[in-house]
Amino acid sequence: MRPLRLDMAGFTVFRDETTVDFTDADYFALVGPTGSGKSTVLDGICFALYGTVPRWGSARGIVNALSPSATEARVRLVFESAGERYVATRVVRRDGRGNVKTAGAGLQHMPPGFDVTRLDTGMSLDDLGEVLAGTPAEMDRAVTEAVGLPYEQFTSCVVLPQGQFADFLHAKPATRQQILVNLLGLHVYEEVQALAQARGTTAETKLSAIDQMLEGLADADDEAVDAAAAHLGRMRELTSAVEQATPGLREIRAREAEAAQARDALRTEMAALTGVRMPAGSAEIVAAVATAREVAAAAADEIRGAEEREEKIRGELIAAGDPGSLKLLLDRHQELERLTGQAEWFAGEVSVAEVEFRDAASAAELAHSAQVGAAQLLEQARADYTEAQKLDRAVALRTHLRDGDACPVCEQTVAHVPAVPAGSAVATAEATGKAARAAAEVAEAAFKQRDAVARKLESNLERKRAQHEHHLARLAEVRAVVADSPGVEAVQQRLAELNRLQKLLEDAGGRVRTGREAHRRAQRAVAVAEEQQRSAWRAFDTTRDAVARFGPPPADRDDLALSWRSLVDWASAERTVRESSLADAEAAVAAAHEATASSLRTIRALFADAGVAAPAGTGDADLIRAAAVAAERAESAWQRLVDRREQAREFTEQRAGLLRDARVAKSLAGHLRANNFERWLLEEALDLLVDGASGILRELTAGQYDLIHEKGEFFVVDHFDADLQRGVRTLSGGETFQASLALALALSEQLAGMSATAASLESIVLDEGFGTLDASTLDVVAATLESLAARGDRMVGVVTHVQALADRIPVRFEVHKNAKSAYVTRTGL
């Protein structure tokens, strides 16, 4: 795995958007003060890929991903692995309750030649390539397949974080063995062993199933097949014999059918002739039709007489006048009498209203005069009061003061207002004014009341005058209407005559309706009688048509009874002729039936001789079908035995093959079950790894130390102390770093030659230890790292705050932090 670009926003100390471009940075250093965020860059790489960081542990998890004041953290890593380019993205958000959860995670396979700088345009994730994973669960599997390493091995071999640089060196043998298994792809041998075991079990299961099938096919041997073939031959012979015998049976049955047909024809003709009988009442039907027609003609004459009388009365009624006009004229006479009687009453009402109005108007005029006089007295009292105020100002001012008020003249507070002196002109004028005001108010109220009464009576007078005028106008109109009237009595006599004629007209109309109903009943009776006559003729025609083929005599369409008697006599004579021929036809049918039964017994004997039950049906098709079905069943049974015998042979061959497969699979699983082959491969890989690391360590320590391993544990040989062998846990901090670095570099350098899978260490990043080295050792480490980077087949990164080491590295990413966020600046080449 080789990182190309890392984008962070809201991630721990990188609150603002920050981009680290690793393009062409084959050998780089992350430098900056302690706590500036150098290791956080490596945390971003781990988090984008695996969703966690070694330094976080499991106490708070992804809560550590968010900057303290941020609600969202975004990390995106573009990287290459085995020649393919990918982009991993993770998003973490804090909700309203403070809970931090992963809001998005995805891995995409970028198309070849994709320009990473296009990410600066803010392009959508949908444009980055094929989606390999879209959830955190899918990411775990997809990232492991793309990188070739799970999280634990990635942090031990590629990104070596603070505090875990020596993990591979100090790991337990089992843990170190598992790391090498994943790196070298040796787990494939475990899979081969499991697959072999599964195939052996499957083969045994199939063997058991085949054995059961062979037991069920034990009866399908050569002897059974031969017996079935012999039975098939007999059934085919039966089919041939039946097919040869059925044409003769068919001819005999045809002759029997002809004889039966001739006999049945005689019986049918005799039955038809026997059915010729004259229905009862045929003679009375014609008489009933004539009677019904006479009754209908009489009813029609009665209708014509009633209609003529009705028309005559209607003409007299029209000539007598319009009853509606006469009734209206009579109503006007009655209205004239009523209006004449009401004329005097309306005149009296108007006179009374006029008197009441004049009285009320006079009273209102008097009240108005009184009101004007009272108003004049009030104005005089007001003038007298004003004159009194001018003569005695002190009293006038005193009337408006209260104890404690300010004097309007001297503005001094008046403690006590003196009483008004007796006999003061102001007091007298004030009393007179009050009396005048009260009198004016009384006079005004009296005027308003009487004026209202007068107005109301005036309105009443106008209403009554209008009613009187309307009454007089209507009286004139009515008088004009009845001016030419002959009088009330004459009008009443004409109405009486009209009523009499109307009653006569109604009686005549009733007789017309009664006559029409009687005529309709007579017509219905005629129709019924005629339908009966037609039905009788239809019955005759039906009976005659039934025997028409025998040549019956012609019918007399004017005499139904005569036609029936002629037909019945003819049918009786024809029936007598056919009775003599029926006995000969019955004998011919019996002889033909016996011949058919004899032929059928011969064919059934063929079935019995073949050992097959004869069919229940006796038809030609039934016999041939029964023989054919017996042959088909015999052939099917024979073919089934042949197929089962062949199936048994195939199962026997399959059983032999499965037995061989089961033995091979069990043998392979047995060889791999003890992990001997895998253990040998691991020992070989570990030997190569330790040899390479020992050479690097010897170079780093100026020939002092070699690295060896025994029984899975690492030891160093101290050549400066009589080749003393010591455990790696006895090394000092600087010596531990040298040994760990030697292992890490050897692992990175030699993995491509040892691994059997796509896992390859295309980069290595070191994050600790350089501050503990002296100047000469630091120089050796720097030279070693420069030599490793110079090969150009992998990226080498260093996280350090040692300036002497940083100055020797061509590409530096300087990390600095202010109060808001950390930032990364690339310097060097």
Return the pLDDT at 177. Answer: 73
Return the pLDDT at 789. Answer: 77
* Ranges of H-type helices in 185-322: 187-216, 222-274, 282-319
Task: Write down the pTM of the prediction.
Answer: 0.43
Radius of gyration of the chain (CA): 70
- Run of H or E including 143: helix 136-147
Return the pLDDT at 267. Answer: 80
DSSP 619: S
What distances in angstroms separate CA 9 from CA 15, 89, 90, 244, one per listed residue? 6, 12, 11, 100
Q: What are phi and psi of 85, to 5 degrees?
A: -110, 135
Q: What contacts 416, CB < 8 A, 6 or more positions away?
A: 403
What is the Cα–Cα distance from 739 to 706, expressed in whole angstroms? Answer: 9
Dmax of the chain from CA atoms? Answer: 176
Return the pLDDT at 608. Answer: 76
Give ∠ CA 393-394-398 in degrees, rounded to 5.
Answer: 115
Tokens of 192: 């081969």
What distances in angstroms separate CA 817 from CA 12, 16, 387, 822, one per listed residue? 12, 11, 102, 4
pLDDT-flagged residues of the chain (< 50): 59, 123, 162-163, 752-758
- Sort 218 into a burial class: Cβ within 10 Å, 0-12 / 13-18 / 19+: exposed
Q: How far is CA 172 from the centre of its chain?
A: 59
Three-state DSSP string of 368-379: HHHHHHHHHHHH
Tokens of 517: 């109903």
What is the Cα–Cα distance from 327 to 499, expressed in whole angstroms? Answer: 12
What is the Cα–Cα distance from 371 to 436, expressed in whole angstroms? Answer: 11
CB 627 within 8 A of CB 238: yes
Return the pLDDT at 256. Answer: 76
Tokens of 293: 């027609």
Q: What are phi and psi of 726, to 5 degrees?
A: -130, 150
Among residues 50, 19, 252, 211, the alpha carbon closest in space to that of 120 is found at 19
Burial 574-598 (b: 16+ CB within 10 A, else e): bbeeeeeeeeebeebbeebeeebee
Among residues 761, 729, 767, 730, the alpha carbon closest in space to that of 748 is found at 761
What is the Cα–Cα distance from 45 to 167, expressed in whole angstroms? Answer: 19
Give the Cβ contact number of residue 252 at 10 Å: 18
Return the pLDDT at 10. Answer: 94
